[in-house]
Amino acid sequence: MKRAIELSINGDTYDVLVSPNNTLLEVLRDKLGLMGTKRGCDLGACGACTVLINGEAYLSCVMLAIDAGGKDILTIEGLAEGGELHPLQSSFVEKGGLQCGFCTPGMILTARAILNEEENPTEDVIKRKMAGNLCRCTGYKKVVEAVMSANESDENAGRPEGQEA
Protein backbone atom coordinates (compact mmCIF):
# COMPACT_ATOMS: atom_id res chain seq x y z
CA MET A 1 0.00 0.00 0.00
CA LYS A 2 1.26 3.42 -0.94
CA ARG A 3 1.38 6.07 1.72
CA ALA A 4 1.44 9.83 1.53
CA ILE A 5 4.33 11.31 3.48
CA GLU A 6 5.75 14.73 3.97
CA LEU A 7 9.43 15.21 3.33
CA SER A 8 11.31 18.33 4.24
CA ILE A 9 14.11 18.67 1.74
CA ASN A 10 16.45 21.63 1.52
CA GLY A 11 13.95 23.68 3.49
CA ASP A 12 10.99 22.89 1.24
CA THR A 13 8.13 20.55 2.00
CA TYR A 14 7.16 17.86 -0.48
CA ASP A 15 4.10 15.64 -0.33
CA VAL A 16 4.94 12.30 -1.88
CA LEU A 17 3.20 9.02 -2.33
CA VAL A 18 5.59 6.21 -1.50
CA SER A 19 5.58 2.45 -1.17
CA PRO A 20 6.83 1.16 2.16
CA ASN A 21 9.91 -0.28 0.42
CA ASN A 22 10.85 2.87 -1.51
CA THR A 23 14.26 4.09 -0.51
CA LEU A 24 14.90 7.74 0.08
CA LEU A 25 17.25 7.67 -2.92
CA GLU A 26 14.45 6.44 -5.19
CA VAL A 27 12.19 9.19 -3.99
CA LEU A 28 14.83 11.90 -4.37
CA ARG A 29 15.93 10.88 -7.83
CA ASP A 30 13.06 9.09 -9.45
CA LYS A 31 10.08 10.92 -7.96
CA LEU A 32 11.43 14.38 -7.20
CA GLY A 33 14.10 14.69 -9.88
CA LEU A 34 16.80 15.70 -7.40
CA MET A 35 19.53 14.13 -9.49
CA GLY A 36 22.49 15.49 -7.54
CA THR A 37 22.26 12.51 -5.21
CA LYS A 38 24.02 9.71 -7.07
CA ARG A 39 23.38 6.00 -7.29
CA GLY A 40 26.72 4.22 -7.38
CA CYS A 41 25.85 0.83 -5.93
CA ASP A 42 22.37 0.93 -4.37
CA LEU A 43 23.73 -1.28 -1.62
CA GLY A 44 25.14 1.08 0.96
CA ALA A 45 28.73 0.54 -0.08
CA CYS A 46 29.96 3.63 -1.93
CA GLY A 47 28.63 6.81 -0.33
CA ALA A 48 27.60 8.42 -3.62
CA CYS A 49 24.01 8.72 -2.34
CA THR A 50 24.92 10.47 0.92
CA VAL A 51 22.44 13.05 2.23
CA LEU A 52 22.30 14.85 5.54
CA ILE A 53 19.45 14.14 7.90
CA ASN A 54 19.26 16.53 10.79
CA GLY A 55 22.87 17.35 10.03
CA GLU A 56 24.18 13.80 10.02
CA ALA A 57 25.31 11.82 7.01
CA TYR A 58 23.09 8.97 5.84
CA LEU A 59 23.16 6.68 2.84
CA SER A 60 19.88 7.35 1.10
CA CYS A 61 19.99 4.09 -0.86
CA VAL A 62 19.59 2.02 2.27
CA MET A 63 17.21 4.32 4.08
CA LEU A 64 13.47 3.99 3.64
CA ALA A 65 11.75 7.13 2.52
CA ILE A 66 9.10 6.77 5.20
CA ASP A 67 11.79 6.84 7.87
CA ALA A 68 12.91 10.24 6.63
CA GLY A 69 9.48 11.77 7.15
CA GLY A 70 9.44 14.77 9.43
CA LYS A 71 13.20 15.17 9.45
CA ASP A 72 15.39 17.82 7.88
CA ILE A 73 16.90 16.43 4.72
CA LEU A 74 19.73 18.24 3.01
CA THR A 75 20.81 17.17 -0.46
CA ILE A 76 23.63 18.61 -2.50
CA GLU A 77 21.15 20.90 -4.27
CA GLY A 78 20.43 22.62 -0.96
CA LEU A 79 23.97 23.24 0.20
CA ALA A 80 24.77 26.46 -1.60
CA GLU A 81 22.77 29.52 -0.80
CA GLY A 82 21.91 31.86 -3.61
CA GLY A 83 24.43 32.07 -6.39
CA GLU A 84 27.44 31.50 -4.16
CA LEU A 85 29.04 28.13 -3.65
CA HIS A 86 29.29 26.80 -0.12
CA PRO A 87 32.91 27.07 1.15
CA LEU A 88 33.28 23.31 0.93
CA GLN A 89 32.17 23.37 -2.67
CA SER A 90 34.59 26.18 -3.53
CA SER A 91 37.35 24.33 -1.83
CA PHE A 92 36.71 21.14 -3.84
CA VAL A 93 36.79 23.25 -6.99
CA GLU A 94 39.96 25.14 -6.09
CA LYS A 95 41.92 22.20 -4.76
CA GLY A 96 40.97 19.83 -7.55
CA GLY A 97 39.16 17.56 -5.09
CA LEU A 98 37.17 16.00 -7.90
CA GLN A 99 37.59 14.57 -11.34
CA CYS A 100 34.55 12.88 -12.85
CA GLY A 101 32.42 14.35 -10.09
CA PHE A 102 30.21 11.33 -9.58
CA CYS A 103 31.32 10.77 -5.99
CA THR A 104 31.55 14.49 -5.30
CA PRO A 105 28.07 15.34 -3.94
CA GLY A 106 28.39 12.48 -1.45
CA MET A 107 31.92 13.50 -0.52
CA ILE A 108 30.94 17.10 0.09
CA LEU A 109 27.93 16.21 2.22
CA THR A 110 29.92 13.73 4.31
CA ALA A 111 32.57 16.40 4.81
CA ARG A 112 29.88 18.83 5.80
CA ALA A 113 28.62 16.38 8.43
CA ILE A 114 32.14 15.97 9.80
CA LEU A 115 32.61 19.69 10.09
CA ASN A 116 29.20 19.92 11.75
CA GLU A 117 30.36 17.55 14.43
CA GLU A 118 33.91 18.50 14.95
CA GLU A 119 35.89 21.69 14.99
CA ASN A 120 39.20 21.40 13.16
CA PRO A 121 39.22 17.67 12.49
CA THR A 122 42.64 16.18 11.84
CA GLU A 123 43.53 14.53 8.57
CA ASP A 124 43.18 11.14 10.24
CA VAL A 125 39.70 11.91 11.48
CA ILE A 126 38.67 13.06 8.01
CA LYS A 127 40.02 9.90 6.42
CA ARG A 128 38.36 7.66 8.96
CA LYS A 129 34.99 9.36 8.72
CA MET A 130 35.06 9.51 4.96
CA ALA A 131 36.14 5.91 4.49
CA GLY A 132 32.63 4.96 3.36
CA ASN A 133 32.82 7.37 0.42
CA LEU A 134 34.55 5.69 -2.49
CA CYS A 135 36.29 7.51 -5.28
CA ARG A 136 37.95 5.77 -8.17
CA CYS A 137 39.40 8.88 -9.80
CA THR A 138 41.26 11.12 -7.38
CA GLY A 139 43.24 8.77 -5.16
CA TYR A 140 41.63 10.80 -2.31
CA LYS A 141 44.59 13.08 -1.69
CA LYS A 142 43.09 16.24 -3.09
CA VAL A 143 39.75 15.45 -1.46
CA VAL A 144 41.41 15.47 1.96
CA GLU A 145 43.20 18.68 1.06
CA ALA A 146 39.91 20.24 -0.02
CA VAL A 147 38.20 19.37 3.26
CA MET A 148 41.14 20.57 5.34
CA SER A 149 41.33 23.84 3.49
CA ALA A 150 37.58 24.47 3.66
CA ASN A 151 37.84 24.06 7.39
CA GLU A 152 40.72 26.52 7.60
CA SER A 153 39.42 29.05 5.13
CA ASP A 154 36.02 29.39 6.66
CA GLU A 155 35.45 28.91 10.33
CA ASN A 156 31.76 28.61 9.61
CA ALA A 157 32.08 26.13 6.77
CA GLY A 158 30.54 23.32 8.69
CA ARG A 159 28.32 25.04 11.20
CA PRO A 160 24.62 24.59 10.82
CA GLU A 161 22.78 27.70 9.71
CA GLY A 162 22.13 30.14 12.49
CA GLN A 163 25.00 28.91 14.61
CA GLU A 164 27.83 30.83 13.01
CA ALA A 165 30.56 31.78 15.44
Which span sits near other proteins by CB under 8 A: 1-9, 94-102, 112-120, 150-158? 94-102
Sheet architecture: strand order including 3-9:
12-18, 3-9, 72-74, 50-53, 56-59
Q: Which residues between 134 and 163 bind other proteins (CB under 8 A)?
A: 134-144
Cβ atoms within 10 Å of 75's Cβ, excluding its own: 23
Within the chain, where are the H helices?
Answer: 24-26, 87-95, 104-117, 123-129, 141-153
Q: How far is the CB of 25 from ligand FES (least distance, A)?
A: 6
CB 48 within 8 A of CB 105: yes
Q: How far is the CB of 152 from other proteins (least distance, A)?
A: 18
What is the contact surface with other proteins in residues (CB under 8 A)? 33, 35-43, 45-46, 48, 75-77, 79-80, 85, 89-90, 92-94, 96, 98-105, 108, 126-128, 130-144
What is the contact surface with ligand FES in residues (CB under 6 A)? 39-42, 44-49, 59, 61, 98-104, 135-138
